[in-house]
Structure 1
Amino acid sequence: MKIIFAGTPAFAVPVFEAVAEQFDIAAVLTQPDRPQGRKRVLTPSPVKQAAVSRGIPVLQPARLRDDLSALRAAGGDLMVTCAYGQILTQETLDMFPLGVWNVHASLLPKYRGAAPVAAAIAAGERETGVTVIRTDAGLDTGDMFLKERVPIADEDTCGTLSEKLSLVGARLICRALRQIERGDIRLERQGEGTVCRKTVRTQIDFSRPAAEVSALIRSLSPAPLAFAEAGDLLLNCYNARVVADAQELPAGTVLAASFREGLVVRCGDGAVRLTEVQPAGGKRMADTAFCNSGKLHRGDRFDQPVL
């Protein structure tokens, strides 16, 4: 069984590595090299780097639908996709006798689309998971094959939860491929679902409940990040947790800014501690280290977003 693997970001690398260890990958399909960093250096995707290290041929069409010749020439029986980044046309799906199988980081039909991990955290879900589906022409609407649940910890960010889910996805797709080889395929149709959109950098609205503020911060970490402003200070926020608070002060008020207590901010309901932050132009650090800078004090107030 010759497999074509399609994937791009770091999330897909453990899935690729697991498939490469146990099955025959004929070629890898990934997004073109992109400029990265301040110097805009042209950089291959994490999946491309992993494929090159194994000596597996790599295909990088800018628009797959416009150039299927190389993919046809690779001659795969089956395709595995994981965060590839392009929609597959029906013509592409029809190329593979054993189907196209996608590793999606949610419990479908919830959170179809581009940012399922962030969406689950932002919604305050207590669990999410991975679903392997047989891809159809829709957006993550194919019939479900295998599914595994994963709890979301209070301190999980999109980054840490993605790492957990990618390992689950790696295990799940290998199990799926073994079943496909045996012809042991039982599919379940999806019901009505929800679609999540790509995340964007967002200013924190501290008038929202503390649990919602914490979830927003964690859902956007490590990128594109939530941020807060207080006058000339811009603070990127990487992690947060809800803390007890009985002080009736305006939302956005700094309740604590010390090495002992950390950086605590009043919300519309309760308070959050911003446990990991980065001042603009500075380094990412624990809130206790930031508080030593003296840039914020008890009683200061963060700005509200301009809607």
Structure 2
Amino acid sequence: MMNIVFMGTPEFSVPSLKALIKEFDVKAVLTQPDKPKGRGKKLSISAVKEVAVEHNIDVYQPVRLRKDPEVIQKLKDINPDFIIVVAFGQILPKEVLEIPKYACINLHASLLPKYRGAAPINAAIMNGEEKSGNTAMLMDVGLDTGDMLLKDEVSIRKNMTAGELHDILMEEGAQLLIKAIKEFKNITPQKQDDSLSCYAPMLDKKMAKIDWNKSSKEINNFIRGLNPWPIAYTQYNDKNMKVYETEIIDKTTDYKPGYIINVSNEGVDVSCGEGILRIKKIQFPGKKVLEVKEFLKGNSLEKDIYLK
């Protein structure tokens, strides 16, 4: 049976690890170190580590793999047929890339060479793409630059959020990986066209503020692309208002961008640089996420307020 070493960390990696355990002999799992979480700063283990522990698979958690000769030696001792990487969170050094008998294969959640980098799912939605997918690729020392083995495409529905696309791609990706391993000897790797590449940088909360000078379509894509994290926000009377769901209203207005032009049970209509956007689901600090209709039962939102 094929020997596999798996490297991954978040929930996205879990279906791939489970599928590999079912099909092959997973000898070891590498994942990021446990991290303090929540108010008590209690150490929390990665989603991948949970699965590995359940299946009694050896787990290694190097802070930086390239500077951990003991773990690298362990990998050499295992002598795997493949090293499989799904959102591990570290770039592998050349020494590790050369360990497996056949290859290091990475699953990347975009149709490469588009959206290399840390947040390809979010970037695809924020940029209004109509399709995304996974790429199984050979790893090299660059960031998502290796030769491609297999791809699968997924249509992005009109109001799909990054979270919804994430959940589809993580399941589909597991099957793509299994196919790539089983058919490896018959696949001809394809070089990426670097001229078509673009980069999807890591997300942070600082980038989540809505710019109402943009068009309603751009802002709608921005909000979908930041759901479920870090969630787009704007300021209503100097309070941060997180915006979870919106829809484009096919009308024009004379209001300047950022002004509330109507409030109803249907939502809060806001003028944009071009067009109107209806806010349908919101959250104020310390409060629950609510549909506007529910929020208005005990609170008010006023017309003509400027959202900063």
TM-score bracket for this pair, using the shorter chain length: over 0.9
1:112 is displaced (CA, Å) by 0.3
1:74 is displaced (CA, Å) by 3.3
Which residue pairs with 1:26 in the alignment? 27
- Does the residue aligned with 1:198 lie in a helix, a strand or coil? coil
Sequence identity of aligned pairs in percent? 38
Question: Given the alignment of the two structures, is residue 264 of structure 1 paired with residue 244 of structure 2, yes or no?
Answer: no
Distance change (3 Å), C-alpha of 1:106 and 1:245 = same
Q: Distance in 2 between matches of 1:103 and 1:276?
A: 33
1:291 is displaced (CA, Å) by 3.0
What are the within-5 Å matches in structure 2 for residues 1-307 of structure 1? 1-67=2-68, 68-180=72-184, 183-192=185-194, 193-201=197-205, 202-259=208-265, 261-303=266-308
1:245 is displaced (CA, Å) by 2.4
1:37 is displaced (CA, Å) by 2.1
- Does the residue aligned with 2:186 lie in a helix, a strand or coil? coil
1:272 is displaced (CA, Å) by 1.5
Structure 2 residue identity aligned to 1:219: G
Q: Distance in 2 between matches of 1:105 and 1:248?
A: 41
What TM-score comes out, normalization by structure 1 length? Answer: 0.94
Are 2:106 and 2:139, in contact at CA under 8 Å, matched by a contact in 1?
A: yes
Q: Distance in 2 between matches of 1:292 and 1:205?
A: 28
1:75 is displaced (CA, Å) by 3.1
Are 2:79 and 2:101, in contact at CA under 8 Å, matched by a contact in 1?
A: no
Are 2:253 and 2:276, in contact at CA under 8 Å, matched by a contact in 1?
A: no
1:59 is displaced (CA, Å) by 0.8
1:297 is displaced (CA, Å) by 1.5
Q: Distance in 1 between matches of 2:38 and 2:263?
A: 32
Structure 2 residue identity aligned to 1:130: N
1:207 is displaced (CA, Å) by 1.1
- Does the residue aligned with 2:277 lie in a helix, a strand or coil? strand
- Does the residue aligned with 2:282 lie in a helix, a strand or coil? strand
Q: Distance in 1 between matches of 2:9 and 2:35?
A: 11
Q: Distance in 2 between matches of 1:37 and 1:277?
A: 23
Q: Distance in 2 between matches of 1:159 and 1:280?
A: 22
Q: Distance in 2 between matches of 1:41 and 1:287?
A: 35
Report the count of equivalent residues: 300
Following TM superposition, the consecutive aligned residue runs of length 4 or more in structure 1 with deviations greater than 4 angstroms are none
1:146 is displaced (CA, Å) by 0.2
1:282 is displaced (CA, Å) by 1.2
Q: Distance in 1 between matches of 2:76 and 2:243?
A: 45
1:293 is displaced (CA, Å) by 3.7
1:57 is displaced (CA, Å) by 1.3
Are 2:212 and 2:258, in contact at CA under 8 Å, matched by a contact in 1?
A: yes
What TM-score comes out, normalization by structure 2 length? Answer: 0.94
Are 1:131 and 1:148, in contact at CA under 8 Å, matched by a contact in 2?
A: yes
Structure 1 residue identity aligned to 2:48: V
1:176 is displaced (CA, Å) by 0.8
1:71 is displaced (CA, Å) by 2.7
Q: Distance in 2 between matches of 1:276 and 1:36?
A: 27
Give unmatched runs, 5+ long, in structure 2: none
Q: Aligned-pair RMSD on alpha carbons?
A: 1.3
Q: Distance in 1 between matches of 2:78 and 2:245?
A: 44
Are 2:118 and 2:202, in contact at CA under 8 Å, matched by a contact in 1?
A: yes
- Does the residue aligned with 1:246 lie in a helix, a strand or coil? coil
